[in-house]
């Protein structure tokens, strides 16, 4: 497998700091996790091993040392060392869906029967999942694709036309995909931003796209203003499903307004570079976002 950020490197060249992947969880009760992503550069799996304790960071590093040592050598079964630990909570989490799995097996855990794992996994929010996504790239010796885009002098977006909103992942190749599993369906939350540098609309659109089953209609989208005002816009009969997805999004991203504000500013910066490399046709939508043709808007301005 090759990353959009570059090619894979040999395992013996990947060296992470011993405490890379250690995070303190948000919440009133102290809890620490130590995350290890798949060590095989050629593997596309999005599973990460989570070791957890409420006994503190130092204790976590001591008790999980054997697991980290096995991971550092590229041991395929490094997670099996976690099964031998009776003083740490251990499970796998999918970086994209946030589903929780046992150390072995491919079926999600019944969190009602594993309340400790469920309670801890609920504290792994969207920001932390993004951090784990970056860890996934570092563990394979690859560059963070978002950072690579931010540092690029030019931004080329295939198929984009001035006046259209842009999906965050289309611009930055995000470190993870924001998936949600409801019943037998898989959805992705696609965040859309206005890239026009001079536009101050402040609007962000979260479009929920159905990924499984393929070809199934999407339930709709939610428009969020910088004031926090939201407008839920379901497609046909999918109002209840869109409500469920929006509630799940807010639960995963409790600070979503700060997230949007941060990404909104970043998109404006990237938008300036897109505008510099994109020639606007006279019949194209005006990049100012007015909805008019360019020739009848900014092109006619003095």
**Where do the DSSP E strands lie in 95-177?**
100-101, 166-167
Tokens of 237: 């009969």
Residue-wise pLDDT tens digits, 172-213: 878 999 999 999 999 999 999 999 888 888 999 999 999 999
Domain extents for the chain? Answer: 11-139, 149-277
Q: What SS3 class is residue 256?
A: helix
* Greatest mean pLDDT among 2-6, 7-11, 75-79, 175-179: 175-179
CB of 280 closer than 8 Å to CB of 287:
yes
Lowest mean pLDDT among 23-32, 151-160, 228-237, 273-282: 273-282
Residue 132 has pLDDT above 70, yes or no: yes
In this prediction, residues 147-163 reach a mean pLDDT of 79
Residue-wise pLDDT tens digits, 267-301: 998 888 875 555 666 677 776 666 677 657 776 65
Lowest mean pLDDT among 124-128, 139-143, 205-209, 260-264: 139-143
For the chain, the maximum distance between any two Cα atoms, rounded to a whole number of angstroms, is: 74
Looking up tokens 């054997």, which residue turns up?
66
- Tell me the pLDDT band of 67, cut-offs 50, 70 and 90: very high
Print burial letters for 235-251: b (CB count within 10 Å at least 16), e (below 16).
eeebeebbebbbebbee
Dihedral sign for Cα atoms in the order 44, 143, 14, 104: negative
CB of 226 closer than 8 Å to CB of 265:
no
Residue 3 has pLDDT above 50, yes or no: no
Long-range contacts of 150-158 (CB under 8 A, 24+ apart): 150/266, 150/269, 150/270, 152/273, 153/273, 154/273, 154/276, 154/277, 155/270, 155/273, 155/274, 155/277, 156/274, 156/277, 157/274
| Residues 6+ away with beta carbon under 8 Å from 242 | 208, 219, 220, 221, 222, 232, 233, 234, 235
């Amino acid at each position: 497998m090759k990353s959009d950020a570059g090619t894979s490197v040999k395992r013996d060249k990947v060296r992470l700091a011993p405490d890379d992947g250690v995070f303190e969880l948000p919440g009133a009760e102290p809890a620490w996790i130590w995350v290890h992503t798949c060590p095989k550069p050629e593997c596309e799996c999005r599973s990460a091993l989570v070791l957890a304790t409420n006994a503190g960071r130092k204790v976590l590093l001591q008790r999980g040392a054997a697991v980290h040592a096995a991971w550092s050598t590229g041991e395929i079964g490094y997670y099996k060392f976690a099964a031998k630990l009776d003083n740490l909570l251990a499970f796998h989490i999918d970086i994209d869906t946030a589903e929780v799995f046992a150390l072995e097996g491919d079926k999600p855990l019944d969190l009602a029967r594993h309340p400790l794992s469920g309670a801890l996994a609920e504290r792994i929010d969207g920001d932390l999942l993004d951090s784990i996504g970056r860890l996934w790239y570092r563990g394979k010796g690859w560059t963070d694709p978002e950072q690579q885009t931010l540092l690029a002098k030019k931004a080329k977006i295939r198929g984009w036309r001035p006046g259209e909103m842009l999906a965050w992942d289309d611009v930055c190749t995000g470190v993870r995909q924001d998936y949600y599993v409801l019943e037998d369906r898989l959805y992705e939350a696609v965040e859309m931003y206005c890239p026009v540098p001079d536009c101050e609309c402040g609007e962000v659109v979260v479009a929920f796209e159905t990924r499984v089953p393929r070809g199934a209609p999407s339930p709709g989208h939610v428009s969020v203003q910088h004031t926090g005002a939201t407008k839920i816009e379901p497609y046909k009969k999918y109002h209840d499903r869109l409500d469920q997805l929006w509630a799940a999004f807010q639960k995963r991203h409790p600070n979503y307004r700060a997230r949007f504000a941060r990404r909104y500013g970043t998109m404006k910066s990237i938008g300036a570079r897109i505008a510099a490399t994109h020639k606007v046709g006279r019949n194209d939508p005006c990049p100012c976002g007015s909805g008019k043709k360019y020739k009848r808007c900014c092109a006619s301005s003095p």
